[in-house]
Every structure is written in structure tokens, then in C-alpha cells.
Amino acid sequence: MKGVFSLIGLLLSLAVVGFLVKKQIASTQQIVPSLQAPATAGAQGAASASGQSPGQIQQQFKQAVQDAMQQPRTVAEEK
């Protein structure tokens, strides 16, 4: 009888831990939007105000990041 209660307690505690782990994993997952998602109204308004499409703005941003990565770092002179 003591073994049955131990086994039931062990299975119950395993179920509780499994539930908590599942809940924790679900809360840490992030939903990543795809790049092909339609733009929101605010983004469309900003893009049309500047005369550029969202794709052009994205390309300009990528180019600016690549240019920044290509600049050589300055090394301070040792005295």
C-alpha cells in the first residue's frame, strides 16, 4: 500500500513539473513575423509621405548597416 501511494505521488509530482515546464517554454517563445507580412496603415502612410516603398526603405537600412560594418575601427595611439 505504501508503494502505491509513493508511485501515485511520484506520478502526480511529475505531472505538475511537466505542466510548469510546458507553461514556461510557451511563455518564452517569440512569434517572429515573416518578412512578407502586409504593412500596417501607419507604415504605409510614412512610406507614401517619403515617396518610398517599404522595400526601398528596407534596402536602404541594410545598405547603411553594411556600410557601417565596413568602416575601419580607429586604434588609439599608445604613448
Question: Would you state the pLDDT for residue 33?
Answer: 59
> pTM here?
0.37
Confidence of residue 69 (pLDDT cuts 50, 70, 90): confident
Task: Write the pLDDT tens digit of every residue in 20-63.
Answer: 999 988 887 766 655 565 555 555 555 455 677 888 899 999 99
How far apart CA 37 and CA 54 sit, in angstroms, is 11
User: CA angle, corner 27, sides to 24 and 28, nearest 5?
Assistant: 90
Q: Which residues contact 50 (CB under 8 A, 6 or more apart)?
A: 57
Q: Quick one: pLDDT at residue 17?
A: 97
